[in-house]
């Protein structure tokens, strides 16, 4: 069973005096693997926050279904063991950090000594244990986001749904959140989080879901997406004798001299050839590579290319 299932979901908002229909999400389908860390990316206005609100039951879809833990997201049972972190936290600013967490713990059924121990645990995780008497109105946005994460971690939820969790964080805060999410992912907690920072997706995520104009453009593993951008391998060697050069070219490689008098050669190995095959061939000719470097597009380049391709397809559909 998947942790979250989004099945043919459309969400239409009505705006203005004439109640004009504005689609936020259109025929969207994807699933979130249980125990995986999944990144949710797309430009502003792509429908990410609307989708997350439908997952948490804050917004109902106009069509289609959203299930969390196999239960329709509109039912309270779907939120059992699920924590939500909003991009813009809302607190009672006259309370202290610990008082705010006591209030949240009480809502989740954690009281007395059990509640105090759990509050201390989450404060240590987000490195606010020495700030528990601080008034929330005196905290920076980044500090409030740490408190927001502490609330989400109360009660050890099995699923975390996070909307831009690192928004407004300074570098130490971002590093802390990466460590926390990496540790929770290692403990097989399901984490689904939206972000604009693709380095976070590449370093933290098992899977990624990509939206563009409310529609899905990719859903799958990060490794599969990165493999799409792998074009081949650059190998640098000393000067190559003609028989070796001919063997490499016969294997599909491109060989060029890069140094004075061709005393250094560059070999481009396309991904269809395979690096191991070329290395074995070099060793057979008593050549030792000086460097072996894979050539890949970054995740940002890959997603930009997908965005551009999607826009071209949409334009072609409209012109047809």
What CATH architecture applies to the domain 4-226?
A: 3-Layer(aba) Sandwich (3.40)
User: Which pLDDT tens digit goes with each residue over 113-126?
Assistant: 999 999 999 999 99
240, 259 Cβ separation under 8 angstroms: no
Residue identified by tokens 């057979």 is: 284
CB atoms inside a 10 Å sphere around CB 307: 17
Domain residue extents for the chain = 4-226, 230-296
Per-residue confidence (pLDDT) for residue 150, from 0 to 100: 96
CATH topology of domain 230-296: Alpha-Beta Plaits (3.30.70)
Mean pLDDT is lowest, of 105-114, 207-216, 221-230, for 221-230
Mean pLDDT for the chain overall: 89
Strand ranges for the chain from DSSP E: 4-15, 20-32, 37-41, 63-68, 71-72, 82-85, 159-163, 190-194, 207-212, 215-221, 230-238, 254-257, 264-270, 291-296
What is the model's pTM? Answer: 0.79
Per-residue confidence (pLDDT) for residue 313, from 0 to 100: 56
Per-residue confidence (pLDDT) for residue 262, from 0 to 100: 57
Taking the C-alpha atoms of residue 40 and residue 49, their distance in angstroms, rounded to an integer, is: 10
At residue 176, the 3 state secondary structure works out as helix
Contacts of 26 (CB under 8 A, 6+ apart): 10, 213, 214, 215
User: Which pLDDT tens digit goes with each residue over 229-283?
Assistant: 788 899 999 988 889 999 999 999 999 885 555 578 999 999 888 899 899 999 9
Tokens standing for 227? 């493999």
Average the pLDDT over 287-310 and give the result. 75
- Rounded to 5°, angle at Cα 37 from 183 and 122: 40
pLDDT at 49 over 90: yes
Alpha-carbon Rg for the chain, nearest whole angstrom, is: 25
User: Which pLDDT tens digit goes with each residue over 137-182?
Assistant: 999 989 999 999 999 999 999 999 999 998 878 889 999 999 999 9
Per-residue confidence (pLDDT) for residue 318, from 0 to 100: 47
Residue identified by tokens 């809302």 is: 90
């Amino acid at each position: 069973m998947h942790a979250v299932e989004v099945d043919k979901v459309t969400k239409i908002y009505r705006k203005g005096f004439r109640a004009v229909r504005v689609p936020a999400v259109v025929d969207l389908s994807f699933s979130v693997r249980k125990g995986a860390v999944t990144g949710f990316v797309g430009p502003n206005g792509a429908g990410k926050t609307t989708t997350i609100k439908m997952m948490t039951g804050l917004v109902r879809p106009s069509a289609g279904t959203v299930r969390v833990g196999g239960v329709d997201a509109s039912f309270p049972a779907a939120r059992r063991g699920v924590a939500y972190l909003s991009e813009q936290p809302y607190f009672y600013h006259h309370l202290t950090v610990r008082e705010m967490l006591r209030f949240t713990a009480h809502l989740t059924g954690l009281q007395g000594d059990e509640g105090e121990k759990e509050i201390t645990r989450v404060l240590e995780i987000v490195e606010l244990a020495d700030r528990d008497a601080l008034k929330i109105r005196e905290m920076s946005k980044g500090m409030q986001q740490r408190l927001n994460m502490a609330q989400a971690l109360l009660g050890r939820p099995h699923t975390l749904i996070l909307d831009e969790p690192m928004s407004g964080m300074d570098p130490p805060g971002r590093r802390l959140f990466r460590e926390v999410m990496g540790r929770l992912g290692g403990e097989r907690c399901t984490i689904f989080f939206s972000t604009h920072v693709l380095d976070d997706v590449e370093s933290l995520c098992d899977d990624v879901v990509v939206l563009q104009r409310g529609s899905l453009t990719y859903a799958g593993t990060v490794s599969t997406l990165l493999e799409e951008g792998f074009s081949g391998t650059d190998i640098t060697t000393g000067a190559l004798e003609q028989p070796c050069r001919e063997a490499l070219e016969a294997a599909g490689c491109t060989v060029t001299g890069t140094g004075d008098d061709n005393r250094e050669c560059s070999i481009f190995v396309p991904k269809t050839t395979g690096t191991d095959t070329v290395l074995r061939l070099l060793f057979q000719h008593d050549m030792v590579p000086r460097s072996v470097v894979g050539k890949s597009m970054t995740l940002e380049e890959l997603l930009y290319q997908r965005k551009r391709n999607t826009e071209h397809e949409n334009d072609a559909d409209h012109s047809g």
